[in-house]
Structure 1
Amino acid sequence: MREGIARLTLVLGAVMATGPLALDMYLPALPTLEAEFAASTARVQHTVSAYLFGMGLGQLAFGPLTDRFGRKRPLLVGLGIFALASAGCALAHSIDSFVLLRFAQALGGSAGMVVIRAVIRDRFDALQSAHVLSLMMLVMGVAPILAPLAGGLLLVKGSWHWIFWVLAAYALFCVAAVFLFLDESHPPQSRTPSVGRALAGVLPLTRDRRFLGPDLVFIAAFGAFFAYLAAAPFVFIRFFSVPADRFGWYFGANALGFITVSQLNRRLLAGRGPRRVLGWGVCLLGVAALLLLACALTGIAGFAGVFGALFLAVASLGLIASNASAVTLAPFGDRAGGASSLLGASQALTGVVASAAVGWIHARGAVPMAVVVAACAAISFASYALLVKTERASA
């Protein structure tokens, strides 16, 4: 049993890593892409937004498909699309084609995000799901540490094209791992009879407070994270003059904070449950956002102040990500694929808005990022206080 859980965690963790790899590995290359394609900073940031938009739309499609056809086959198709689009990105000759291929890359990669949560919901209850998701964060959390370091190294030793060839090869590795080692968790007798009926089962979730409350907490918190992703390369490298090959070390340190807190989360769950620990994460995010805003507006402590606040903000996601997912999906076992797709799609589309919003605010340095992070943290806190904490009290 323990061996089976370990294998499941490793396979799903490897698949889940495709998301942070595709987002994080090319971050050190954003200023290089701006120069090579003769594009504006805002246009280059659209490569992040296009990926997040593709993740959102793709998850809306793959959720009902996994409820209809099972978990394994749609995942294999999605990983294949991801591999082909990654190779296309490496061969792109204009910023417009690159943006479109990033969108296609995300459509394929979105299958993994849906299937991972659905498989865990198929096999475990809410508390066990939170434990398994926390364990998976240890596996996939290595990706945000190594990805920018590897991307910076590939950029210095070769070119940005190499980054996407590596992503294509990694996707093929995941195809092999899923084909050989992932068992189907959604048997034919449990599947919906048609894709249309699966879609119809998703729509009521948008009006269900049990889904909406933790979903809003989850997507707002990750809105703050995506604002950080979109702005950090320019804030660190340009405003604070951090060398491109050292950017990965700072990014990796934040990811290490996330991993550490996500593993601490497994201990905190004992006797408390995911809903209560989720509230602690939301509070930590709020404190970090206020510190970030103060440092960005006043310049107090310079780069160290901004980096320290971002470290706390990213670390708080270790208490938010797995617990919010578990609380959101727990009541909807019969619609796990659809619920997972709606959760992931809303997360990705919020990321589109948050990353784009950084470019809408005309201010120097870290101020635009800090404002968006603070706004997202406020929404997450309010959603928890009004919709999640009160649900616990009434339960």
Structure 2
Amino acid sequence: MNIKKISTPLAIALLMFPQLIETMYSPALTSIKNHFAVSAENAAQGLSIFFIAFALGVVFWGTLCDIIGRRRSTLAGLALFIAAAIATYLAPNFDLFLYGFGACAFGAAVGSVCTQTILRDSFEGLALSRRFSIAATSVGISPVLGMMIGSWLTAHGGYTWVFAAMIVLITLLFIWSSIQLPETKPKHIKHDSLLSVANKMIRDSHIWYITLMIGLANVALFSYYSIAPFMFEQLGASVKLFGYTGFVLAIGSVLGSLINIKLIHYKLNGDVIIFIAMILMVISGIGVYLLQDTIWFFIPMVLVSVAFGLTLPNLFSTALINYRNHLGSAGALLGLSYYLIIGVGLDFAASTGNLAITLLTCGGCCLVLVIIKQLFTKLALVRNAI
């Protein structure tokens, strides 16, 4: 079947924009608190609502992908985001502001689930893994870009400038997508109910493995953004230093993805690459533990970023190989599952307030999962040989 493929720059832009939006919002929290005269805790509610609405959006848009198509679903989600961002910009009170931002997150979910579905439609095997490696690099640097853009806009014009910039950026992305985004939905596709797809996935051990690995890898990386600012504060370091460390993490993510592309070129087994990545994550946890009383604790975090760049492409590229007849619905359920794990994991990280323990827990659990998977794979090969 000859399916028109999405261009790599457009795929990167669509995958980056949800995380870019989220991290642009974070520096605006103080402006939002002051404008609406609410507490810091209330202002921070927006981020919680973002993740909840985003998870619901992943299920909705992923399912819609299999019903009306990838292109129309993506354009509808982008249009909803633009409308919601305008409503949020104009919101006269804090409650309406939160509702508007929740609607933004719901629309932004198309950037994740629909784009992944389009990539899985268009590519397979090594080609798909390479695309996800490039995507992992982009997603890895998007928090740095988001924090820089959001900080500058907030400093010069408050939260309204941040939302004005969101409206402009996503309008441009909508126009670009309207012109270039192809429809990749196969002509002959099963319209199984979401419940039947979920029932199949629940009984699939490979899906459980993928979900846990993706969730724990994300918790390891993003726990830094929630714990490190307080560690710097306790050490008497400038908050600006925390912002600069984002560049270090971005370099690690890019390096990990480039190494992964090279290893794929040499046809190294994906499970072996993931195993190496998890060893790096455990080493990182040990390094953070040893350096946590100094400002240099952020240096070992580079290894977490490298591990992230090595792991995610190999997990995403093999996640739904048995669900090609309903990629949208299966992708939606997969996304919902690992976003729930990320939410619970980050809550655990925040409650402990210990970055080293979080990294060691995530890295250790992932390492055990990889070893168990390899043992079961070898047992299956022995049984087939007998």
TM category (shorter chain) comes to 0.7 to 0.9
Counterpart code for 1:381: L
- Of 244, 252, 274 in structure 2, the residue corresponding to residue 257 of structure 1 is 252
Partner of 1:364: none
Asked if residue 266 in structure 1 is aligned to residue 261 in structure 2, the reply is: yes
Superposed CA deviations along residues 36-76 of structure 1, whole A, max 9, x for unmatched, are 55555554443322222222121122222112221111111
Partner of 2:384: none
Superposed CA deviations along residues 195-216 of structure 1, whole A, max 9, x for unmatched, are x624422331122012111221
Q: Is the 8 A contact 1:79 1:171 kept in 2?
A: yes
- 1:21 Cα deviation from its structure 2 partner: 0.5
Counterpart code for 2:295: F
CA distance in 2, matches of 1:59, 1:319: 24
Partner of 2:238: 242
TM-score scaled by structure 2?
Answer: 0.87
Equivalent runs, 1:155-234 vs 2, <5 Å: 155-187=154-186, 189-193=187-191, 197-234=193-230
CA distance in 2, matches of 1:102, 1:377: 33
Counterpart code for 2:190: T
Superposed CA deviations along residues 89-117 of structure 1, whole A, max 9, x for unmatched, are 43446554444333222211111211121
Partner of 1:126: 125
Counterpart code for 2:60: A
Partner of 1:342: 333
CA distance 1:323–1:45, change in 2 (3 Å): farther
Superposed CA deviations along residues 352-383 of structure 1, whole A, max 9, x for unmatched, are 2233334434xxxxx44444343333332232
CA distance 1:203–1:229, change in 2 (3 Å): farther
Task: Count residues in correspondence.
Answer: 376
Superposed CA deviations along residues 224-257 of structure 1, whole A, max 9, x for unmatched, are 233233334454467644245x644322331222
CA distance in 2, matches of 1:316, 1:31: 33
Counterpart code for 1:319: L
Partner of 2:296: 304
- 1:338 Cα deviation from its structure 2 partner: 2.1
CA distance in 2, matches of 1:210, 1:53: 25
- 1:184 Cα deviation from its structure 2 partner: 0.7
CA distance in 1, matches of 2:284, 2:167: 36
CA distance 1:220–1:142, change in 2 (3 Å): closer
Larger C-alpha radius of gyration, 1 or 2? 2
Q: Is the 8 A contact 1:257 1:315 kept in 2?
A: yes
Secondary structure of 1:190's counterpart equals: coil
Q: Is the 8 A contact 1:49 1:356 kept in 2?
A: no
Superposed CA deviations along residues 6-31 of structure 1, whole A, max 9, x for unmatched, are x6211111111112201222333345
Counterpart code for 1:385: I
Partner of 2:48: 49
TM-score scaled by structure 1?
Answer: 0.85
Give identity over the alignment, percent: 23
Which segments of 5 or more consecutive residues in structure 1 lack a partner in the other structure?
362-366
CA distance in 2, matches of 1:240, 1:93: 38
- 1:130 Cα deviation from its structure 2 partner: 0.8
CA distance in 2, matches of 1:56, 1:178: 23
Equivalent runs, 1:1-395 vs 2, <5 Å: 8-34=7-33, 36-37=35-36, 39-92=38-91, 96-187=95-186, 189-193=187-191, 197-236=193-232, 240-244=236-240, 247-269=242-264, 270-296=266-292, 299=293, 302-305=294-297, 307-361=298-352, 367-386=353-372, 388-393=373-378, 394=380
CA distance in 1, matches of 2:222, 2:164: 24
Secondary structure of 1:17's counterpart equals: helix
